[in-house]
A and B are shown apart, each in its own frame.
Chain A
Amino acid sequence: RKEVEQDPGPFNVPEGATVAFNCTYSNSASQSFFWYRQDCRKEPKLLMSVYSSGNEDGRFTAQLNRASQYISLLIRDSKLSDSATYLCVVILAPRMDSSYKLIFGSGTRLLVRP
């Protein structure tokens, strides 16, 4: 089983729709969670952190469910410019060498159509 799993999609939605993605993680020692956005053939960029109580940034809402070990990203009022791949990232508790390992999901592709 992969440490971090995402539905690859694509999620094909009309402009203005609300869409949600989930990302499940298997390691209960996972400490921190993030969503990154990656445009086609470009580098990933941090979209938002995910806090335990849930957090919102404009049209984007991130939630964490520790009991079920998943995080979610909700996008309201989808825009054409939201079309991208959304990667979830999990940081594990420190290892023996005190490094904090980041694990990337393989991404969920979103296509917003006119």
Chain B
Amino acid sequence: DGGITQSPKYLFRKEGQNVTLSCEQNLNHDAMYWYRQDPGQGLRLIYYSQIVNDFQKGDIAEGYSVSREKKESFPLTVTSAQKNPTAFYLCASRPGIRSGELFFGEGSRLTVL
């Protein structure tokens, strides 16, 4: 079955530690995205990538980093510079740049203690 796999589903980390969230897709989609969702709020775009070896900052990129070395993979690192990292992180991919359909992973819930 094609889809997007995020891991880990739940993650607890101490303040000051970097954390990397994995996102893998086998849908052959070029575009991939990372969103953050806080309680009662909509999705906010962190980073996106339209092709391999290229990525762009979204609206809230500070304190995050990404890489896109392979089409299937778009990992997100939450660095110690991110001031409020506790959130629900969603990775998504999109079949085409005009498509409104985003395919989401199940999300990673990060809690910083």
Q: Which residues of A contact B (CB under 8 A)?
A: 4, 8, 32-34, 41-46, 49, 87, 89, 91, 94, 97-100, 102, 104-107
Q: Give the interface size class of chain B.
A: 20 to 34
User: Is B43 touching A44 in the complex (CB atoms < 8 A)?
Assistant: yes
In the complex the two chains form, is B98's CB within 8 Å of A87's CB? no
Is there contact, CB below 8 Å, between B98 and A100? yes
Contact of A99 with B42 in the complex, beta carbons under 8 Å: no
A49 engages B100 (CB within 8 Å): yes
B107 at interface by CB-CB < 8 Å: yes
Q: Is B113 an interface residue (CB 8 A)?
A: no
CA gap between A89 and B92 in the complex, in Å: 14
Please name all residues of chain A whose beta carbon is closer than 8 Å to the beta carbon of B109 when the two chains form the complex: 41
Known: A99-B48, A99-B50. A46 touches B42 (CB 8 A): no
Task: Take A42-B107, A43-B107, A97-B56 as given contacts and tell me if A102 and B102 are in contact as well, using a CB distance cutoff of 8 Å.
Answer: yes
Identity of the chain B residue whose Cβ is nearest the Cβ of A91 in the assembled complex: B100
